[in-house]
Amino acid sequence: MVESPTLELSPEGLTSNQERLCEMFFDPEHQVEVDVKVRKKDGSEVIERRKTGIFDFRREDEEGFLFKLHEASPNAPASPFKLEIRGDLSQAVLSQIGIVLKESEQGRRPDFCTGIPKAGVALAKAYSEASGVELVDIFEKEEVEGKRKIKPKKHIQGKSFQTIRIVDDLITGGETKLEAIRAAREMGFFVLDVMVIVDRQQGGRDQIEAERYKLISAFTIRQLLSFGLRRGLLGEDRFDEASSYLKSSKKNS
């Protein structure tokens, strides 16, 4: 019997491919231009268009960033950091994402993969190109009473024996992922699992697994933060601020 080679892992438990992607997240060369929702220190909430690194921290006049979870829990603490694994990502970053997602595969190989719009679409394509799993575009995003909802595309119909892997950038809460799961099932697909690059460790995994679905994440936010601290890409003050926020948000989730 031939044994599989053992991967050498970093102190954070990252493979060399994952470390390379983490480096890209901290590298200011890899910037995206996106709309971000922030809560200012005076309590006001604004949406701003800004050019930012993939991994970034709040500015001095900001309390922090707001996400979809704040639609349901507006008093939840704002996040001091954000990850923008979307928008105008360079081909180098997308290619590395595809490699890392393929490396993170677990269990049964799906018949298809698909991305949650908008962020997950380009990532699912990168995963498809790296893995050879066929890509299908089955979701659309709808604005319902000021809230974004994932809906099935009407003209697409799966078959109950066809498996699908749902790909997205990260998971904070689990609501969007569960919407996508329900939409895929409505079209007749069997959802094999949900795959993300980063688990922000704020309760999303628990929500997905409570519904008896599997979540695969390439790495966690704590692994990313610890990597940044060890490599000198993140200061101790930022690391401590992020760690305190994660501890507080987990307790209040």
Domain ranges of the chain: 28-87+231-252, 91-223
Q: Which fold has domain 91-223?
A: Rossmann fold (3.40.50)
- Residues in contact with 235: Cβ distance below 8 Å, sequence separation at least 6, in sequence order: none
- Dihedral over alpha carbons 84, 89, 110, 107 (to 10 degrees): -60
pLDDT for 148 = 80
Query: Side by side, which strands form the sheet with 62-65?
Result: 45-53, 31-40, 62-65
What confidence tens digit (pLDDT) does each residue in 115-127 have? 999 899 999 999 9
Over 80: is that where the pLDDT of 107 sits? Answer: yes
Q: Residue 166 pLDDT more than 70?
A: yes
Cα–Cα distance for residue pair 220/218, rounded to 1 Å: 7
What pLDDT, on a 0 to 100 scale, did the predictor assign at position 125? 97
Give me the mean pLDDT over the 155-166 stretch: 79
Three-state secondary structure call for residue 59: coil
pLDDT tier, 248 (very low <50, low <70, confident <90, very high otherwise):
confident
Tokens of 214: 């599997």
- What are the pLDDT digits (tens) for 37-86? 999 999 999 999 998 899 999 999 999 999 887 877 788 899 999 999 98
CB 26 within 8 A of CB 52: no
Output the pTM of the full model.
0.91
For residue 118, give the H/E element and its range. Answer: none
pLDDT at 2 over 50: no
